[in-house]
Structures are given as structure tokens and as C-alpha cells.
């Protein structure tokens, strides 16, 4: 599928390219920012093709600044860039923290298992309230089921943000058709 790039500030036509197929939706294509599937009109002498409010227009060249050729396309993302980004994301959601009630709470596997188990115990009534839940060497006073639920939810929300970020990076890797099915290690071995 052909897409047509335009300058992010002026809307001036920059060129065309082939859209990448969506790794998440068979038959769909990825349309990047500042691009459209609408073909611009043929060029006319003294006029510049400009994408404005969802449509191409031909404006006098004097009214549209010339786009810097260096801005025409984002820099190429290399496999090294993708490896580095996946490593950062993996470290962040595998060993990172999230901020909750003024404290940094670990989101590593132990914290996730602990939060889930304690929440289940609080809900079942086997963990008496109030108590202190320890997070990264600091204690959080938990006096209600809702407070423990909020701690649990904060940890898992941070984890979901990590998975979402991972999916975006994996989607940029050629030959990965279902990014959600890949873990970081599998992506490294199979495609990077």
C-alpha cells in the first residue's frame, strides 16, 4: 500500500513509500504520523502540494516554507537500537519499581507474587487488618482491602506498561507477526 509523507509543521509533500503490514492485524497496514494513504495531486508549476486538514491542496510556493530534507524521514532504526530498547524495557519491568503513596514499590516477580498472595489473603480474611506490607525495604501501612488492592493494581499497571512498550518494540522487528506472543528472550534469539 502506498503512503505519502508530509512535513509535520508545514504539511508540504515529502515523498511516498510503501506502508508496512501491521504485525497485529492481518490485512491492515501501519500508517505513520505525518503520512496519509491519499495520493497528492500532480505537481503544478509555482505551486506546492500541502496536506491540510485531511486533504491535499496546491498552495503558492511562496506561502509554504521548503521542508528541510533532513526532516523528511526519521532515522533508520537498527537491530542494535531494537536490542538496546528491549533490554531497557526488560530491565524496567523485570527489576524496576513503580511509585505508589510516596514510595517506590518493586515490580519484580517476588513483589508480584507477594502482592497477589497477600491480596487474596486479605480478601479471604486470613490476613488480619491492619498490617504492614513491605516494598523495597520500606513499609506501607495497609488498613483496608482497598489499600491492598491499590498496591496490587499499581504493581500490575506498571507491568502492563512494560508489556505494552515491549510490544511496540517487537512490532518494529521484521518477521514478527504476533508481538504479544514473544518474550524478550525469544525475540533476541529469533530475530535480533
Query: What are residue 131's phi and psi, to 5 degrees?
Result: -155, 175
Helix boundaries (H) for 34-125: 79-95, 109-124
pLDDT tens column, 160-176: 777 777 777 766 666 55
Q: In sequence order, which residues have a C-beta less than 8 Å from that of residue 100 and are 6 or more positions away? A: 135, 140, 150, 151, 154
Residue 76: pLDDT over 90: no
Long-range pairs, 188-192, Cβ under 8 A, ≥24: 188/83, 188/86, 192/79, 192/82, 192/83, 192/86
pTM for this structure?
0.51
Domain regions of the chain by residue span:
2-71, 79-191
At residue 124, the pLDDT reads 95
108-126 mean pLDDT? 89
The predicted pLDDT at position 106 comes to 81
Cα 124 to Cα 12, 70, 121, 156, distances in angstroms: 62, 61, 5, 20
pLDDT band at 69 (very low <50, low <70, confident <90, very high): very low
Whether residue 71 is predicted with pLDDT greater than 50 in this model: the reply is no
pLDDT of residue 149: 93
Q: Quick check: 151 pLDDT over 80?
A: yes
pLDDT at residue 190, rounded to an integer: 45
Amino acid at each position: 500500500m502506498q503512503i505519502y509523507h508530509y512535513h509535520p509543521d508545514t504539511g508540504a509533500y515529502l515523498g511516498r513509500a510503501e506502508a508496512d503490514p501491521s504485525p497485529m492485524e492481518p490485512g491492515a497496514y501501519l500508517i505513520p504520523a505525518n503520512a496519509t494513504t491519499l495520493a497528492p495531486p500532480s505537481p503544478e508549476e509555482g505551486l506546492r502540494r500541502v496536506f491540510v486538514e485531511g486533504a491535499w491542496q496546491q498552495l503558492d510556493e511562496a506561502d509554504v516554507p521548503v521542508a528541510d530534507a533532513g526532516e523528511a524521514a526519521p532515522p533508520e532504526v537498527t537491530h542494535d537500537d531494537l536490542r538496546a530498547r528491549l533490554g531497557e524495557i526488560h530491565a524496567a519491568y523485570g527489576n524496576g519499581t513503580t511509585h505508589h503513596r510516596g514510595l517506590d514499590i518493586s515490580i519484580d516477580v517476588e513483589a508480584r507474587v507477594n502482592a497477589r498472595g497477600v491480596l487474596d489473603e486479605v480478601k479471604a480474611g486470613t490476613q488480619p487488618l491492619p498490617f504492614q506490607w513491605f516494598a523495597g525495604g520500606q513499609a506501607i501501612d495497609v488498613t483496608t482491602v482497598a489499600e491492598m488492592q491499590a498496591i496490587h493494581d499499581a504493581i500490575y499497571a506498571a507491568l502492563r506498561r512494560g508489556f505494552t512498550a515491549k510490544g511496540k518494540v517487537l512490532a518494529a522487528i521484521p518477521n514478527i507477526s504476533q508481538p504479544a506472543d514473544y518474550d524478550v528472550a525469544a525475540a533476541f534469539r529469533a530475530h535480533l
